[in-house]
Structure 1
Amino acid sequence: MATPLSADQFVAALEAEGVTVVETGDWREHNRNHKGAWGPVNGVIIHHTVTSGTASSVELCYDGYEELPGPLCHGVIAKDGTVHLVGNGRANHAGTGDGSVLDAVVNEARPPRPTSNDTDGNAHFYGFECINLGDGDDPWPDVQLEAIERVSAALCRAHGWGAASVIGHKEWTDTKIDPVGFAMDDLRDAIAARLGAAPQEPAPQEPAPQEPATPQPAAAYTVRPGDTLVAIAESHATTAAQLVALNDLADPDVLHPGQELKVPAAGNAYEPFPGADFFRAGPDSPVVTAMGHRLVEEGCSAYAQGPGPRWTDADRQSYAAWQRKLGFTGSDADGWPGRTSWDALKVPRTS
């Protein structure tokens, strides 16, 4: 048995285990504590969402629905391994389950097959929803499985538990089948191995060998209000240092609207930020289509159809999901593109 972690302790434990964390809304105060006990905590339950798309899945788990109010878990583990925190305290994720399973978790023993539903699991377990359709065909990316392992190990390490403290929803109650697509015993073996060593950051991938650089033809770029050399370089798949050399700039920090710069034509891969006013004017542009496709690729789609060239509320909702994915909150995640989020999205150039 253990006292639940505070919000700060929770985040610290996950980050110490190398987990990428996104804090959603007021998750620190978002719970169902007024409906029942929260703690003592005894373990972790892993679920799958039966949904696709990061933004919509996180929203569902945060808000819940009429029959089952949110939060529906403590964190949502996305396909890219990012963990979106949506609740802190009692959450509607486990429901009732078998008390003999809880006893096994407390004693760090293999759980028996659940046959009754007589114990409130929401009081005793952290819960994580993992984005997957649960149909046996939807893949589990390695980075997502590793995030599940890291999250589970982080809480076990924080509370002094062993890997047997982590169970699947289907091991808690005979009314559920999740998670489908990987074996809980394999997950526990991986957690046990991780707990046998100190926390480690994800290993950086070795960069691919690069061909020797060759001179590239130059194209022209006209400086816009608010431009910086770094932003221009990122938008054209190059570096600020290369632009300084190409343009023989005396002071790279001083740019003037209307100034003509040379940029590498072959590196002109990304659409430069067109400015906030561009979107507020309701454009009909291939830039909007290209942006929409990138949002879909990032799992931030609120589109019922499309995306298309005309700016719509679906574009704004999708972009707000992208801003939240980057960690922006409040008015900084209002769906109106800004330079920082736009540069991070890397929209392919349309002309």
Structure 2
Amino acid sequence: MATPPPARTFLQRLIDEGVSVVEVGSWETHNRNHVGAWGPVHGVMIHHTVTKGTANTVKICRDGYTALPGPLCHGVIAKDGRVHLVGYGRANHAGLGDDDVLRAVANETVLPADNEANTDGNRAFYGFECENLGDGQDPWPAEQLLAIEKVSAAICRHHGWTERSVIGHLEWQPGKVDPRGFTMASMRERIAKRLGVKPQTTPLPKPKPPVVDLSKLVAAAKSDPGRSGTPVTYSGVKTVETALVNAGLLAKVYSDGHFGSATVDAYAKWQRHLSYSGTAADGIPGKTSLTKLGAKYGFTVAA
């Protein structure tokens, strides 16, 4: 039993294990937590997708479909070995399974046969969907099997688990056959060998600071959409509003993606802080004042 780490720590563990990671959109906050808890976690569950094509597979696993909303896993393991992170938190991947199996995973003992579906697995497991048709004919490239081994070992290493904490969907829920094409016993042997070797730590690259387009920001400021309640579609507005909140010039409630009158007033305060006055402190961003705001609060400016 364990608490999932923060998303960035999870990412770092995968990178340390040598996993080739692709971050898909806002994966760190994409989850089903609003319908139930994720955690405490007990293990890692491996699936196959019954889909073809990486782009299509990633989209389905991120978005889900009408009967089963996404994310459908935490990561999609493509045939080329890259792991596409699509969500972090509760995900619709495991469904109901056998409580005896969960106890065995938690205690790291021999798995019993799964003969009932009475326990929420979405709460208790990390889930990885592997790109494969699941027909027993679609091949499992060496790069893909290695990636399954690596992601499983990375999570087990973080929590201090052994290879017994990694199971297949077919070992959890009666009637399931995934993953089909290799045995989970052979995969657990690979994971055990990997856990016996210390990984090489690679520093997590720092996220690039957001870039704010000055011309788009000025257009947003001059439109003053706050009076009509119409959202500004340019994301740079929120970046600047967050900086103004951090500077103590704008109430957080107004950091809502609108460059309305409250944001104009707050930006004018910033201009006056820089010793501008008169029409030079009208609340409409200029390159010099915006560059100085970005330098202090973590964004860059494109003219």
What TM-score, normalized by structure 2, do the two folds share? 0.66
Deviations along 1:214-258, whole A, 9 cap, x unmatched? xxxxxxxxxxxxxxxxxxxxxxxxxxxxxxxxxxxxxxxxxxxxx
Instruction: Report the Cα distance in structure 1 between the residues aligned to 2:72 and 2:169, rounded to whole angstroms.
Output: 13
1:54 paired residue number: 54
Whole-angstrom CA distance in 1 between matches of 2:146 and 2:137: 19
Question: 1:85 matched to which residue of 2?
Answer: 85
Which residue matches 1:106? 106
> 1:8 matched to which residue of 2?
8
Report whether the alignment pairs 1:178 with 2:178.
yes
Q: Percent identity?
A: 65
**Separation (CA, whole Å) in 1 of partners of 2:5 and 2:45:** 16
**Cα distance, 1:200 vs structure 2:** 4.9
**Superposition deviation, residue 79 in structure 1:** 0.4
Alignment deviations for residues 59-103 of structure 1 (CA, whole Å, 9 cap, x no partner): 000000000000000000000000000010000000000000000
| Residue of structure 2 in register with 1:193 after alignment | 193
Task: Provide the rounded CA distance (Å) in 2 between the counterparts of 1:200 and 1:147.
Answer: 16
Residue of structure 2 equivalent to 1:126: 126
SS at match of 1:76: strand
Corresponding letter in the other structure for 1:130: C
How far 1:6 moved relative to its partner? Answer: 1.1
Aligned-pair CA distance for 1:37 = 1.3
> Which whole-Å CA distance do the structure 2 matches of 1:9 and 1:175 have between them?
35
1:140 partner SS: coil
User: Secondary structure in 2 aligned to 1:132?
Assistant: coil
Q: Which residue number in structure 1 is paired with residue 21 of structure 2?
A: 21
Q: CA deviation at 1:175?
A: 2.4
* Separation (CA, whole Å) in 2 of partners of 1:174 and 1:115: 6
Q: Distance in 2 between matches of 1:87 and 1:189?
A: 28
Q: State the alpha-carbon separation in 2 of the partners of residues 65 and 175 from structure 1.
A: 22
Q: Distance in 2 between matches of 1:200 and 1:18?
A: 8
After superposition, residues 1-351 of structure 1 pair within 5 angstroms as 1-200=1-200
Shift of 1:3: 0.4
- Which residue number corresponds to residue 262 of structure 1? none
Determine the C-alpha separation between the residues in 2 that align with 1:88 and 1:173: 22
For structure 2, the 5+ residue unaligned runs are 202-303
SS of the residue 2:122 aligns to = helix
Partner letter of residue 112 of structure 1?
P
CA deviation map 1:110-146 (0-9, x unaligned) = 2111001110000000000000000000000001000
Q: Partners in 1 of 2:63 and 2:49 — Cα distance?
A: 14
Cα separation, 2, equivalents of 1:56 and 1:122: 23
Q: Distance in 1 between matches of 2:80 and 2:8?
A: 23
Give, in whole Å, the separation in 2 of the partners of 1:163 and 1:97: 20
Distance in structure 2 (CA, Å) of the matches to 1:162 and 1:34: 31
Give distance in 2, aligned partners of 1:175 and 1:71.
22
Q: Which amino acid aligns with 2:17?
A: E
- In 2, Cα distance between equivalents of 1:110 and 1:189: 14
SS of residue matched to 1:114: coil
Greater than 4 Å deviation, 4+ residue runs: none
Aligned counterparts of 2:139 and 2:110: Cα–Cα separation in 1: 27
Rounded Cα–Cα distance in structure 1 between residues aligned with 2:164 and 2:120: 19
Q: Secondary structure of 2:47's partner?
A: strand
Amino acid in the other structure paired with 1:151: V
Superposed CA offset, 1:288-321 (max 9, x none): xxxxxxxxxxxxxxxxxxxxxxxxxxxxxxxxxx
Instruction: State the distance in 2 between where 1:200 and 1:142 align.
Output: 21
Quote the Cα distance in structure 1 between the aligned partners of 2:176 and 2:199: 32
Q: Aligned with 1:25: secondary structure?
A: coil
1:184 is matched by which residue type in structure 2?
A: M
Which letter does structure 2 place at the counterpart of 1:120? D
Q: Which amino acid aligns with 2:49?
A: T
Amino acid at match of 2:169: H
Amino acid at match of 2:156: C
The 1-side partners of 2:66 and 2:110 are apart by 36
Amino acid at match of 1:107: N
What residue identity is the alignment partner of 2:13? Answer: A
Match of 1:296 in 2: none
* Cα distance in 2 for residues equivalent to 1:5 and 1:135: 35
SS of the residue 1:122 aligns to? coil
Task: State how far apart, in whole Å, the 2-side matches of 1:198 and 1:171 are.
Answer: 29
Cα distance in 1, alignment partners of residues 53 and 23 from structure 2: 17
